[in-house]
Amino acid sequence: MNIEIKVPSLGESESEATLVAWRKQIGDSVVEDDVLAEIESDKITMEVTAIGSGTLSEMHKRDGDMVEPGEIIGLIEAGEVKRETAAKTADEKPAAEPASKPEPGQSKAKAKPEKPAAAESKVEAAKTGKPREVVRAAPAAGRQEERVPMSALRKTIARRLKEAQNTAAILTTFNEVNMQPVMDLRSRYRDAFKERHGVGLGFMSFFVKACVEGLRRFPVLNACVEGEEIVYRNYQDIGIAVSTDKGLVVPVLRDAGALGMADIERSIVGFADKARSGALQPGDLKGGTFSITNGGVFGSLLSTPILNPPQSAILGMHTIQQRPVAENGQVVIRPMMYVALSYDHRIVDGRDAVQFLTTVKEAMEYPGRVLLDV
């Protein structure tokens, strides 16, 4: 009896993915839940696992091939296999043959090694399942070029960002936030917060709360354009941009307006861990009515974020910098952060955008107002 190896569901609007690499080879023993292959869709990387035990008997797709949800990419010949046996099979694979063998009478030290460029290409191909072209100039010049195929995720990022620029009338407005009140509040209650809730208190949860307040007051920034209609929502599903080695992903914080600070912090930490380990699921990335991106973690002082289609607005946070500011006629030093709001000018007027950003600023500088709903 054969067990079919099928491509899992990729979620709404995703109809294909790339088979990045097989993790097992024909003849390998596998047990239930063993990782057989890795696929990469437009948004995330997923693992294809075995639904039964046996021996991998057929592989219908090769590394780098496009696959569709539900497509059969291989077969397992069913049979009882112990996990120890499967592990031993993987461990006992023969080592690769040396690149060159010394001629009779020639010492090992004089054996010619394989060219570094070829070796690097083979290693990369083994890791990613994708060919890598390395072009080197003469050794004396020390110059080289390297061509690496764009991943499915990188292609999607490029397509969606260009789509946003081509479709929306993007405009950006700026303001700055005095972070001292939030920093004082955070310092005062950070230990008690972590002791009670088991999670650290970061700045992002404050910004999420501030954005929810702004979206409630100015709902057009939480809306989107569909054809010739504007779709308004009475809920706030906020995307939190997370940077990974493979690119930027934006998992969505559902019903952010109904969440407490601890719930927000736990969700953000969970999304970051899942994103960096490749464990995000399609449902984690669906929808989203507004997004927040934090370039400040990389030291960015100011930027103009690009919309995440079909959303109509995105908030950009930046690095906190000690700067002189005027307070009550006096020059003082305060920890300041520039914030940027990019919005779709087709439906969002400048007045609403500026007032939204002012609301965020006030909520951060007077956090008690949000708690007291004033």
Which domains, from first to last, does the chain contain?
2-91 (2.40.50.100), 153-372 (3.30.559.10)
At 171, list the tokens: 């405009």
Side chain identity, residue 340 = A
Residue where the block lists tokens 């063998």: 101
CA proximity to 286, closest of 42, 31, 46: 42
Give bridge partners of residue 55 from the DSSP assignment: 29, 77
User: Tens-digit pLDDT profile for the chain (374 aa)?
Assistant: 889 999 888 765 567 788 888 999 999 999 988 899 988 876 677 888 888 899 999 999 888 888 888 889 999 988 877 666 555 555 555 444 444 444 444 444 444 444 444 444 444 444 444 555 555 555 557 899 999 888 777 787 788 888 888 889 999 999 999 999 999 999 999 999 999 999 999 999 999 999 999 999 999 999 999 999 999 999 999 999 988 777 778 899 999 999 999 999 999 999 988 887 878 888 888 889 999 999 988 899 999 999 988 999 999 999 999 999 999 999 999 999 999 999 999 999 999 999 999 999 999 999 887 766 66
At 145, list the tokens: 């070029």
* Model pLDDT, residue 87: 59
CB contact burial 33-60 (16+ within 10 A = b; e otherwise): ebebbbbbbbbbbbbbebebbbbbeebe
**Of the residues 184, 255, 273, 349, which is catalytic?**
349
Strands 54-59 and 29-30: antiparallel
Give 115's DSSP letter. Answer: P
Residue where the block lists tokens 């394989």: 114
Residue where the block lists tokens 């067990």: 3
Strands 66-67 and 45-49: unpaired
CA distance 198 to 201: 10
* Model pLDDT, residue 145: 92
CA proximity to 317, closest of 299, 342, 337, 291: 337
CA distance 307 to 19: 29
**Of the residues 60, 197, 263, 345, which is catalytic?**
345
- Give the N- to C-terminal CA distance of the chain in Å, as an integer: 67
Q: Decide if 184 is catalytic.
A: no
Work out the number of other CB atoms within 10 angstroms of the CB of residue 324.
9
**Model pTM?**
0.68
CA distance 79 to 244: 39
* Model pLDDT, residue 127: 45
CA distance 326 to 334: 10
CA distance 67 to 48: 12
Q: Decide if 349 is catalytic.
A: yes
Residue where the block lists tokens 């303001």: 175
C-alpha torsion angle, residues 130, 158, 238, 281 (rounded to 10)? -20
* Model pLDDT, residue 341: 98
With a CB cutoff of 8 Å and minimum separation 6, the contacts of 358 are 175
- Average pLDDT of the chain to the nearest whole number: 83
Give bridge partners of residue 224 from the DSSP assignment: 231, 311
CA proximity to 210, closest of 369, 363, 315: 363
Residue 292 to residues 238, 300, 353, 370, Cα–Cα distance (Å): 7, 15, 15, 19
Q: What are phi and psi of 127, to 5 degrees?
A: -75, -45
